[in-house]
Amino acid sequence: MPEPSPGPLTPERIFNTLNAYQQTAALKGAIELDVFTAIGEGAVTPPALAERCHASERGLRILCDYLVVIGLLMKDGNRYGLSPDAALFLDRRSPASLTSTIRFLGSPMLTDGFQDIAAIVRKGGTLIGPEGTLAPEHPIWIEFARSMVPMMAPAAEEIAERMGDGPWKVLDIAAGHGMFGITIARRNPAAQVTALDWLNVLTVAQEHAQVAGVTGRYRILPGSALEVDYGNGYDLVLLTNFLHHFDVAGCEHLLGKVYSALKPGGRAVTLEFVPNEDRVSPPTAAAFSLMMLGTTPSGDAYTFSEFERMFSHAGFSRSELYQLTRSPEQILISYK
């Protein structure tokens, strides 16, 4: 139960929640105007920002004050500064800049799925067509592959570090941008990676493999992960941000194919938002269920015990859960 309020109740939480869409809009607008980079470069007053961002002084003053309110900027007199989060993730000059992610996370192809939550709840799944974002060759996954690399790169590095070194034969399912398999190949000169996804998405993964210098050890397998023949003899199968799109039956069908594709002693590596058993904590992982309700017919954010059962039913001997240090997501390592 929530703690009782220390004073009289006000509608402030309700008011702020109903207006919370403005936070998304303000952040998206600030990225488009390059406000964070401008401040990082020294344009810290409304007149200087107006000149640098080619926008009105009044508009920038109001926008920047709002960004101070939501914690992305700081203010001293009439001068603005970047919060630590903004300096690291929103200044385009930062190696960790996430500004490109707004093209996927703020895309109408994604956000339109949440225009009528009541109707989604009545139905129990997405209103974006019968398959939601899982429709074959859906263009949203090209945008995902092109824009989400900065957000996924730290997790890819941590997974590669945890897997260690070896002449791995790797299958990267729903590879998208390809960075999870590519990172393992880059760190392991003898590793061979097969990337499975829709052909239009794999074109982007191939571009990233070329930049990383691993094209000679990087092959593609176009098609649906639920239908295509994986082959066999893999040391590692990567399931990154994929299982949450399906119901339990769909996951177990997929995991049965993964189990068959692995060699004895092989490992399946799953990256997911994994809520605690109460399904309301930690907040970021728990809230991901709503994303699946709005964009898929039957997907969900699964708890570790639910994942354990699914992997066990598919034949895996055990699964281990690890929290990543540079991501709100967790990884499961499941052993054949």
**Percentage of residues of the chain with pLDDT beyond 70:** 98
pLDDT category of residue 134 using cuts at 50, 70 and 90: confident
Through-space distance between the first and last CA atoms of the chain, rounded to whole angstroms: 41
Biggest CA pair distance of the chain:
67
Four-way CATH pick for 12-92: 3.10.180.10, 3.40.50.300, 3.90.190.20, 1.10.10.10: 1.10.10.10
Q: Is the CB of residue 334 less than 8 Å from the CB of residue 268?
A: yes
pLDDT category of residue 247 using cuts at 50, 70 and 90: very high
Q: Is the CB of residue 328 less than 8 Å from the CB of residue 273?
A: yes
Tokens of 70: 């939501």
Three-class secondary structure assignment of the chain: CCCCCCCCCCCHHHHHHHCCHHHHHHHHHHHHHCHHHHHHCCCCCHHHHHHHHCCCHHHHHHHHHHHHHCCCEEEECCEEEECHHHHHHCCCCCCCCCHHHHHHHCCHHHHHHHCCHHHHHHHCCCCCCCCHHHCCCCCHHHHHHHHCHHHHHHHHHHHHHHHCCCCCEEEEECCCCCHHHHHHHHHCCCCEEEEEECHHHHHHHHHHHHHHCCHHHEEEEECCCCCCCCCCCEEEEEEECCHHHCCHHHHHHHHHHHHHHEEEEEEEEEEECCCCCCCCCCHHHHHHHHHHHHHCCCCCCCCHHHHHHHHHHCCCCEEEEEECCCCCCEEEEEEC
2 has pLDDT over 60: no
Tokens of 42: 């020294």
Q: Is the CB of residue 253 less than 8 Å from the CB of residue 226?
A: yes
Q: Please write the tens of the pLDDT for every residue from 283-336.
A: 999 999 999 999 999 999 999 999 999 999 999 999 999 999 989 999 999 999
Say what the pLDDT of residue 215 is. 95
- Identify the residue with better confidence: 127 or 27: 27
What is the average pLDDT across 8-18? 93
* Predicted TM-score (pTM) of this structure: 0.92
What is the average pLDDT across 260-266? 97
118 has pLDDT over 50: yes
CA distance linking residue 92 with residue 22, whole number of Å: 22
Per the prediction, the chain carries an average pLDDT of: 94
Q: Is the CB of residue 212 less than 8 Å from the CB of residue 177?
A: no
Say what the pLDDT of residue 4 is. 57
Backbone angles phi, psi at 78, to 5 degrees: -105, 20
Class of 117-335 per CATH?
Answer: alpha beta
Say what the pLDDT of residue 5 is. 61
Tokens of 59: 């508009």
1 has pLDDT over 50: no
129 has pLDDT over 80: no
Say what the pLDDT of residue 138 is. 81
Tell me the domain boundaries of the chain.
12-92, 117-335
Task: Give the other-Cβ count within 10 Å of 48's Cβ.
Answer: 18
CA distance linking residue 298 with residue 309, whole number of Å: 18
84 has pLDDT over 80: yes
Tokens of 314: 């598919």
**Percentage of residues of the chain with pLDDT beyond 90:** 89
Say what the pLDDT of residue 15 is. 94
Q: Please write the tens of the pLDDT for every residue from 98-113.
A: 999 999 999 888 898 8
Say what the pLDDT of residue 109 is. 85
Say what the pLDDT of residue 136 is. 78
User: Own/partner pairs for 106-112, CB < 8 Å, 24+ apart?
Assistant: 106/24, 106/28, 107/140, 107/143, 109/133, 109/138, 109/139, 109/140, 109/143, 110/140, 110/295
What is the average pLDDT across 18-47? 97
CA distance linking residue 109 with residue 125, whole number of Å: 16
Place of tokens 């690399």: 149
Tokens of 44: 């810290």
CA distance linking residue 236 with residue 265, whole number of Å: 10
